[in-house]
Structure 1
Amino acid sequence: MVVRGIEYRWRESHGRAHTFERFREPGILETFDDARLTEEAGRHDYIFNRDHHAPGRERARSRAALDDISSLPEAERPEVLRRREWVGRFLALVEAGRAVRTHAGATEAIAVIAAELEAERLARLGEGGEGPKQRVDAHRESAEAECPPVRRPSSDGLLRWTRAFVRGGRDPLALRDRRHVSSGHHRRLDPGLERLVAGAADGYLSMERPTIDQCLFDLKIAVRAANVEREREGLRPFACPSKKVLTKAIGGMPKARVHAARYGAGSVENLKSNEDGFDVTWIGQRVEIDEWEVQVQAVLEKHGVWQRLDAEWRKSAGRVRLWACTALDTASRIVLAMSLSRTGNTAENAVSCLAMVVSDKTRLARWAGAQTAWDMSCVPTLIVTDGGAGFKSDAFKMAAAGLHANIKLPPAARPRGRPRVERFFRTLELHVGGRLPGRTFSNPVDRGDYDSAERAAILETVLRKILILSVVDSYHCRPHRGLRRETPIDAFERLDGTHGIGAEPGPTVRRNALGVDRICRTGPHGVGFLDLTYRSAALVRDFNQRGARDATVRVDAMDLGCVSVLIDGEWETCVCRDPGMQGTSLAVKIAADQDLRRRFKAKARVRESVVLDAIAKTKELVEAGVEQFGLGRLRPTAEQLDRIEAALASRYVPPWERGTHPTLEEVMADATPRGTPFTGGVVVGGIDEVDEETSPVGDGAGTADAVAGAGAAPPPSPPDDGRAEDGGDGDDGPVSDEYVEFEEDDDA
C-alpha cells in the first residue's frame, strides 16, 4: 500500500484496525482503521496492491524488469497472454490429476490442450457447431486473423514456463521472455562513422547555438577528411549519414545538458516542471501577481482642455504606455485586481494591486461601463510574484504581512513559476492589442513600417476603460480551456458555494495594512484631511492631554469614511463627520470636488457684482463712522491687545447669575457698552476699557488718545455674596483651565 508517497507492507489486523510497516524504514509501524483507509483511498496518489511484496511476485518483477503488468510493451503482450493460457490449462490438468509435471506428462497435456483450443477457435469461426454457418466466406480472412491457428509449445518450453510462473507467485510478469535484455542487435553504422556523428552532435552544444543544418555541413567535412585517410589505407570510403541520423543523435542527449550548453546553466531551471503550488481547491489559496506593459500607446489628455484643442495640437500631445499590475486567482482564473499606472515596478502600484484584491471593485466596473459586477475579492493565502522591485519593497511585504499572507518569489527569469497570469497577459494582448490603433510590438521585425506613436488615437482614460471592460465583461464571461470550458465567473461562484471564501479583513484591517500615511494637524474639532474632519473619543483624550499636534494619519484611498490615527503607538479609528463619505473612494471625492468647483465658479461670476457692491457699501459705512466720531486711528496698541486677550480668556458672570436680584441700574450698566472699537476699547464681558470722563458715549466728545492705560483705576467689584467665581475668589481670576469638550454641532 502507498499512502501519501510512503510505501507500506501489511503486518496484522485486529478487527477494524490494521497494522502496516514502512517498507523503506523497517521497524516503524502505523495503524490504520477502516475510516482512514476509506478516506485515503479517495486520493489520487493512493495505491493498494495485494501481495505486492510477496517473495514470488518480487522475483517476477525482478525478472521482467517491470513493476506492473500494465507497463508491459504492447508488442510483447500477445506472447505473454498466450503463455499464460497454456500454463493455466496445464496446471488445471495437474491439479485435477489428469497430468503430471514431467516431459511425458507435458507432451500428453499439450495434445489435450491443443485440441481444446482448436475446438474453441473453430467455434468462434462458426465451423465447429451443428447450427448454420455464422460467417460468410467473404469474412473468413478477417475472422482467421482474429483467431489465428493454435501454436503448440514444446514440452521443455511448457515446463520452463510453468516453473517460472509458480516461482513468480503466479504473476504473468514471470512469463516475459528475456529478449528485452538482449544486446545482440547489429550496428547500423561503422564505429569510426559513429564517432564522427557524435563529434558533429557535440558541436551542436555551443553558446553560438548552431543549427542542425550547420552541424550537418561540419559532419560532411569530417567525413570527407576521413575518407581521404581511408583511401590511402585502401579502405572503402564512408557514406555521409543523413540529417535524420544526426538529429536522432542530438535528440538522444539529455535535454538539460543541451539546454545548459546552448543557453547557460541558469536557464535549466525553466525546464523543470511545476511540482508545487498548483494543487489548489479554494479561492485565494494561490494568487499570482505580475506586471505587464500594455502593448498600446495612449494619448495624454488634460481635463477640461482636450475638447477645445484642434487637430494639430492633439497630434502634438504626449504619448504614454500603461503598466497593468494584475492579480489572478489560480483556482477560478478570476482577475482579482488590475492596477494601472504610468510607471512600472513601483511599490505604490504593487500595494494598490493588493488593496484591490481585498476590495469590491464594482464601482470601477460601472465607471468603465461594464455590465458584469466586479465584486470578487478574497484574502490570499499564498502570493506568487516575480522579482520586480515593487514586489521586493518593504511596503509590499508589510502590506502582505498585515493581511497574514505568505509571499513566494520564484527564481529570476522563470515565468513558469507563475504561468496562469503570464498566459492571461498573452490572452489580453490578443483580444485587445489587435483592435486598437497605436499598438506596439516585441521587436522591429514584427513592427515593420507601423508607426505606433503616429497612429496612437486612444486617450489614456479611454484605454483604462477598455482594459477594464476586456477583463470584467469579456475574459470573465468566456469559456476557459483551463477550466474545461467553464467561465471564470461561474467557476468562482461554484468554488464559493463549495468551499467558501475566507472572511474579509474589514475596513480597519485593510486600512491599517494597505493605507497611506499622512501628517495632519489635530485640533479641538478633530483631525483634518483634505476638507474633511475626523474625530473619536481617543482623539478627544489625546487633545485634552497634549493639545494640538502633528499626528500620523493612515488613509485608505478606497474608503474615506474613516481614517486611522497613531496615538501612543496604536492605530485608533476616527470616523468622518460627514456620513456621506462612508464607502467613498478618493477618486470619487476628487472628481466630485472638481465638478463642484467648476459649477460654483460659474455661479460666482454671476454674483460678482453683488459682492463688489457690498464691499463698496461697507467702506462707505466705515468712513461715515470715522467722520462722525472724529477718529483718526483704527489700529490698537500692543498693550490693548494684551488686555483683550486676557479678558477673552476669563469668564464673565452677569449679575443675574451671581445669586442676587440685580437692580435696574446694574442691568442697564451691563447693557451699556463700555468701549468702542473706534477708540481702541472693545466690549469684553464687563471689563472697563475706557474712562467715563473720556468716553465718547453719551456726549459725543472726547479724543482718540484718551485710552485707559495700565495705571487706570480698576472697575468696581460686584457685591460679595460669599460665592467665588470659577477659578477665582469673586474678582476677575485667572484663565479657566476647564477641558475642551467636543460638541456635535459645527459651533463647538
Structure 2
Amino acid sequence: MIDHLLKHDWVFDDESCVNDSDNEEFSEKPDFKSVFDFESLPTDRKSEVKQRLNILKLIQDFGHGGVTREAYDFVVETKLYSVPSQTTVRGWWQRWVYSGFKVESLLPRYHLRGNRTSKVSPAVERMIADAIRSRYLTKKCHTVGVVYIKLLEMLEKENVGRSVEFQLQAPALSTLTRRIRALDPYVVAVARKGKAHADRLYKHVGMGVTSRFPLDVVQIDHTVLDVILTDENGTLLGRPTLTVAIDVYSRAVLGFHISFDAPGWKSVMRCLSMAIQPKDSIFKRYSSLRFGWPCHGIMLTVLLDNGPEFHGHAIEDAANGLSIELRYCPAKKPYYKGIVERYFGTANTKLVHRLPGTTFSNTKARGDYKSEKEACVTLPKLEEWFTRFVIEIYMPSLHMGILEAPLDRWGKGVKLTSIRLPDPSIPMAVLLGEIVFRSLTRRGIELYGLMFSSEELALGLRRRIAVLGKNKAKGKVKVKFDASDMGRVWVHAVPNEPPIYVPCIDQEASDGIPLWQVKAVRSRLLADAKIQQKGRRKSLVEGTAELQNDIQEYGETARRKKRTAKRLGRMKEGATIRAAADYSKLKPTNTLNDDNIFRENERVEATENITWEVGFLKGIKGAGE
C-alpha cells in the first residue's frame, strides 16, 4: 500500500500560511503565554477557588500522599468546608499537582457543562454558511439582519420541494449572530475592508507564527487519526491519537508519536524525544528507506495548544532542563497553529484514508464502507507506514506554503544556524521521560505491575530516611521512565540529588517492551484471571462452605471431649475423698509388728480401688442418662 503511494508526485499546499518574507520579525511577536489574574475573577469564582485550595492544603498537610480515604475523612471531619465526593476532590488534586500547584488549575470549568453540540441540521448549517459568504463577507458590508433575510429566502426556496414532515426549520437570529461572531476577525476584515486594512487592525492575529531559521519555533499538536486499529489477534482497539512536531521555518516533521493514550503532556514528551534525537535508529529498523531524515535538535520555542493537558510540571521541568521556551496558543484561535493543523489534513488524506479500516473524515465520505469489518492494521504497522510516509513522500515533496520541499528548506536553513544537542551523559529518559510518583519501600518501586529494585536504590532509601526523617521519607518519590522501554527507571530518592538508575527485576517481561504493551498484557492477564474465577465460582463457594462446616464441626467435637475429660477428673477426685473417709471409720489394730502393718496396707489399698471403680461406673451411667 505504501509502495502505491510512492508512485505519485505529491504537492502539499498551505494557503492558510503566508510566506515568511511577508511577516514581521520574530522578536515582534506577542507572547502567547496565558497570564492569570486572580483578582479579576468574579467574587463567586474567587470564593470557589479559595475553598478548593484550602481543602487541598488540608489534605497536603495530612501527609499521606494524595487524596486517600484517611485524608478525605480527615477533611470532612473538620467540618470547615462543604466537601464534595472523594472522586471530585481527587480530580482537583490531580489538576493541581500536574499544573505545578498553580491556582488557575482549580478554576471551575463551567464552560464544559451542558450540550455543546449544534442542534441545527447540516443542511441548514450549509445554508447559513452560504448566506454569510454571499451577504456578510462582501465589500457591501451588509448587516446581520440582511444576512438573516437572505437565509430565510434560501430556506423558503428549499422547502418548496419538500414534504411537510421534511421541512427545514429556520434558526433563530441569535444562532446566525453566534456563527458570525465565531468567524476569524482577520478573515472578516479582509472580506469587508480589504487586506491592507485588515493588516493594520490584526497584524498579529491573522498572519500566524513566523520563524527565522530551523528549530526557531516548533508547533506541536495532536489529532485522532481516521482509522481503526487492531491487535495481532484481530481485536479492535479503536482510533489512535497522533502527536506531531512541525518546524515552522521548513515545515519539516521533526518527530511524531502514535498511541492510544489521551492527548497530553505524556505524548508531547515522547514526541519531543523523537524530535530532538538523531534518527539513526529509525534507519536501522527500516533499512529500505530511500531518503534521509536529518531533522533533529533542541528547539528554541515550542508552541502548544492552550488546553489544561499541556500545562504541568513535567513539561516545564523538561523545558527548563533543555532551555526551551514554552508558548501557548490563545484560546479559540486555531490559525496560530495552522501549519500543524494543515499537516494533519495532509496525513489523513494522503495516507490514512487509504488504509484498511479507515473511517474517512465524515459519514458521507465513508458511505457504506464497513470500517470495523475491514480493520486489520496494527499499531506497529501504522508506525512503520507513517514513518515511510514522512521520509519518502512528505519531506521531499513540493510544499506550496514555502514553494520548495521541506527537506530542501531544512538543508538550506541549517547553514544559517547551529544545531543544539542534549548532553550525551544524561539519558533522554531523565530529560524527557514520563513522570509518576510512587512509594519507595524496601522492596523497591512498583510501576504498572513491574518491580524495580537494586542495591543503589536500597542505599538511596536509607539516605532518604537520614535526610528527611522516618515520617517524611514515607512520602512518594518522583520516578522517570522511557515509555518505549520499560526495562529501567530513574528514581529521585533524595531531594536535590541525581536520580538513581534502577533496572526492572523481570528483564524478560520489560526490557525493550513499550508501556502500552505492558498495559495490554496486564489487562489481558487480569481479564483471563477474572474469566477463570467466574468459571470456578460455584466450586469456590461450595469448597468454602464445606471448609467452614468442617471447622465448626471440629470445634464442637473438641469442646464435647474437653467437657467429658473435666467431668471424669471431678468424679475421680470425689471417689478418692469418699474412700479416705470410709477408711477412717475402721477399728484400728493394737498390733504393730511388721506382718500386721503389711496386711493392713493391703487392706487399705484394696478398699480404695473398689471404692474408685464403683464411683467411676456410677458416673458413666449418669452421663449416659
TM class by shorter-chain length?
0.3 to 0.5
Larger-gyration structure (1/2): 1
> Under a length normalisation based on structure 2, what TM-score does the superposition of the two structures give?
0.45
Structure showing the higher helix proportion among its residues: 2
**TM-score for the superposition, normalised by structure 1:** 0.38
